[in-house]
Amino acid sequence: MSTHIGASKGEIAEKVLLPGDPLRAKYIAENFLTDINRYNEIRNCFGYTGLYKGERVSVQATGMGIPSISIYVNELIQEYDVQTLIRVGTAGGMGSDVHIRDVVLGQAASTDSSIVTNTFGPGVNFAPIADYGLLSQAAKIAEAEGMKWHVGNVLGEDRFYNDELDKQKLIDYGILATEMESPALYLLAAKFHRRALAILTISNHLVTGEETTAEERQTSFNDMINLALQVN
């Protein structure tokens, strides 16, 4: 086991879905996987391994924010040799063409966090990006299945409540949605030469005020889950 994950070696699959919400991890395991085993209960960040159409897949809750997901991604890679990490989470819509329940594929992850500066120093603004193979697969599947989907740049914020955020400028520069984890996922995947993708569902819209309920955020949004399970 690692510091925050109670699994033994071999209990976690090479491919892991990463919801922030522990109850979404439970929902995914119980509704999409068979032969499930819960390998982690530490801090109630539940982790499960099961089968999806015969393929071994794990689901690990990460909690909210860049610091929290960084813990789990580091340990999944360094202690359990995970190769493919797919975030399945919610995001706030920003673009005019983006609506609640739409799926957004995070091609890149801009951020107001200091995580990039702390990693490279003030002279380099490294651009955390998704794995192209996962991204292109997800786009093809989303299109083939008639999902309402978008691909582009997302913003990973350090703060949930951010009155200083210049929403319109970000929209003008093509930011589709805002969330709180993807920059860390992509940065760590680059560091350890692993594959990563953020598949997000729009749960609310920062401009129009549209929103979904807490229960919907926990137990629906099945398009992104199906998409994440199908890409390899």
CATH 3.40.140.10 applies to domain 15-230: no
Annotated binding-site residue? 179: yes
User: What's the pLDDT tens digit per position in 192-202?
Assistant: 999 999 999 99
Report the Cα 130 to chain-centroid distance in Å. Answer: 11
Q: Where are the domains of the chain?
A: 15-230
CA pair distance 26, 112, nearest whole angstrom: 31
Query: In this model, does residue 47 exceed pLDDT 70?
Result: yes
**Residue 94 assigned to a binding site:** no
User: What's the pLDDT at 172?
Assistant: 95
87 assigned to a ligand binding site: yes
pLDDT attached to residue 212: 83
Q: Is the pLDDT of residue 216 over 80?
A: no
- Residue 63, CB-side half-sphere exposure with 13 Å CA sphere: 16
DSSP codes of every residue in 162-227: -TT--HHHHHHTT--EEESSHHHHHHHHHHHT-EEEEEEEEEEETTT--B--HHHHHH--HHHHHH
Residue spans of alpha helices (H) in 109-151: 115-120, 132-144
Give per-residue pLDDT as tens, 50-109: 999 999 999 999 999 999 999 999 999 999 999 999 999 999 999 889 999 999 999 999
DSSP count for the chain of H helices, then E strands: 8, 9
Average pLDDT of the residues in 30-39: 97
**43 annotated binding-site participant:** yes
Q: What is residue 219's predicted lDDT score, i.e. its pLDDT?
A: 65
pLDDT at 218 over 70: no
**Does the pLDDT value for residue 125 go beyond 70?**
yes
Q: Binding site annotation covers 6?
A: no
